[in-house]
């Protein structure tokens, strides 16, 4: 047995797992049945998935969601705020709980985390994957990715976080949920929850994760998907525009299915939670239908 394997066997305590560098990753684990593991977006926490988790737990599934390192209630190390480590932390959680036949569900940056997990750790423990408003294959505009966003857009995010991240997160919650659109039914509670979750993250993760979700090229990871995969995206996503993300991802993952929510924003897990819950349940009930 390797030292890493030995350490892993003793890393699971209560509702945290300890990673190779000593960081503690907080997670929620509800219900029983086939496991569904959720990865959240930036700058949020596992709280962002509670509507889906509670619904699926009520319908016979075991639901697990962790706070990415630096976010929520997990450790806030300066090191390890990179996509490879995020994916390895997810692998530590999955292995510590000895999950088999799991379905991974990732939103936004969490979708990148899911993709990189599959790229680095394979699909032996998986039954399927769902990418919701996810950042793959690449958000940044390049010569090979002309539909992406310019680097200046992400520099602006960094500047906002650096200058006054509390106000920046308050402002970001408006387009995140499409509340800046005419006729939108604004929930101040949802906006407040976004701000609360964002402010739980430490500054290193809040700042350094921006480069990870914007500049990481997940194209090689998507080529390694060999389980049923559902791609869900709103066509009015102002944070991760659909043309360079979900539409390309669906082309790159062989056999995947794309569901487009007309008029839906980036934060559709809140604004369109009832539809998302039903689509997740349908997929989990019959992933082979994809």
| φ and ψ at residue 257, rounded to 5 degrees | -120, 135
Task: Determine the 3-state secondary structure of 23 from DSSP.
Answer: coil
- Sign (positive/negative) of CA torsion 131, 133, 139, 141? positive
Among 214, 237, 245, 256, the one annotated catalytic: 237
CA–CA dist 198, 201 (Å, integer)? 6
CA–CA dist 152, 158 (Å, integer)? 10
167 with 195: CB under 8 angstroms?
Answer: no
**Structure tokens, 256:** 């995947």
113 with 38: CB under 8 angstroms?
Answer: no
Using alpha carbons, select from 64, 119, 129 the residue that is nearest to residue 94. Answer: 64
14 with 73: CB under 8 angstroms?
Answer: no
115 with 222: CB under 8 angstroms?
Answer: yes
Among 75, 266, 270, 272, the one annotated catalytic: 266
Catalytic residue list contains 89: no
| CB-based contacts of 41, cutoff 8 Å, min separation 6 | 48, 107, 108, 109, 110, 133, 266
| CB-based contacts of 162, cutoff 8 Å, min separation 6 | 207
The 126-132 sheet, strands edge to edge? 12-13, 16-18, 24-30, 61-66, 34-39, 102-107, 126-132, 229-234, 257-261
Task: Determine the 3-state secondary structure of 151 from DSSP.
Answer: helix
Catalytic residue list contains 71: no
Catalytic residue list contains 266: yes
Among 46, 75, 108, 245, the one annotated catalytic: 108
Catalytic residues: 108, 237, 266
């Amino acid at each position: 047995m390797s030292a890493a394997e030995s350490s892993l066997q003793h890393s699971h305590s209560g509702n945290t797992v300890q990673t190779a560098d000593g960081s503690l990753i907080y997670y929620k684990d509800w219900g029983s049945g086939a496991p569904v593991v959720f990865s959240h977006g930036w700058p949020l926490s596992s709280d962002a998935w509670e509507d889906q988790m509670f619904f699926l737990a009520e319908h016979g599934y075991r639901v697990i969601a962790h706070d990415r390192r630096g976010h929520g209630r997990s450790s806030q190390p300066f090191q390890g705020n990179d996509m490879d480590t995020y994916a390895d932390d997810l692998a530590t959680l999955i292995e510590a709980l000895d999950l088999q036949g799991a379905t991974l569900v990732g939103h936004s940056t969490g979708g990148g985390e899911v993709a990189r997990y599959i790229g680095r750790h394979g699909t032996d423990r998986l039954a399927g994957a769902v990418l919701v408003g996810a950042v793959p294959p690449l958000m940044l505009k390049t010569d090979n990715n002309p539909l992406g966003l310019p680097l200046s857009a992400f520099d602006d995010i960094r500047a906002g976080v650096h200058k006054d991240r509390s106000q920046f997160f308050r402002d970001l919650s408006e387009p995140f949920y499409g509340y800046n659109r005419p006729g939108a039914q604004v929930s101040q509670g949802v906006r407040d929850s976004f701000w609360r979750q964002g402010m739980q993250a430490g500054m290193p993760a809040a700042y350094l994760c921006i480069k990870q979700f914007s500049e990481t090229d997940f194209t090689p990871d998507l080529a390694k998907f060999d389980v049923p995969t559902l791609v869900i995206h709103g066509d009015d996503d102002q944070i991760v525009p659909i043309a360079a993300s979900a539409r390309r991802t669906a082309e790159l993952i062989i056999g995947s299915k794309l569901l487009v929510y007309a008029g839906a924003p980036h934060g559709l897990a809140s604004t369109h939670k009832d539809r998302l819950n039903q689509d997740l349940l349908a997929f989990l009930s019959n992933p082979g239908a994809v």
